[in-house]
Structure 1
Amino acid sequence: MLKNKYCKVGDRPVKGIQSKEGFGVYVFNWETGNFDLDLGYLEKIYFGSMDDVEELTKEEFEIYTKRLRAEFKKQKKLHKFVKLF
């Protein structure tokens, strides 16, 4: 069984977690601010080169994700404002 893992791949938060539904790898979606299942990252964060993968603690991951979501909301509001003109 794979252990839970919290990472940044480049700037993107990626987590591999075991849940009641089973194991999944979830990546931050830049368009929605949510996490989407994407097993394409499985090999990269567990078995691949760590060149662009930074492993984080769960707490560091949550702080980083929270900061990205705040920035996402700010950009979304700005985008709505710009559309008015």
Structure 2
Amino acid sequence: MYWELELILFLFLLTTAYIALEADDLLIAVVMLTIFSFLMALLFTVMGAVDVGFTEAVVGAGVTGILLVIAIYQTKFTTVD
């Protein structure tokens, strides 16, 4: 239906996935995965699956992102020289 918008969302999805995989900082990776999940929710909504998009936004971008950030800050970091 809106193939131009879907193509732009796919390109942003690929970009955020690549940044999340190549990030050295865990917080950057979690933020990129949260953005990826939100973009997936937008893509589902554009494709007509509003209920799936809403669920992805709540669970994927919301709850999972918050839990991963909490897990990062609860973990003690040690540096190896």
TM-score, length of structure 2 as denominator length: 0.38
TM-score, length of structure 1 as denominator length: 0.37
More strand by share: 1
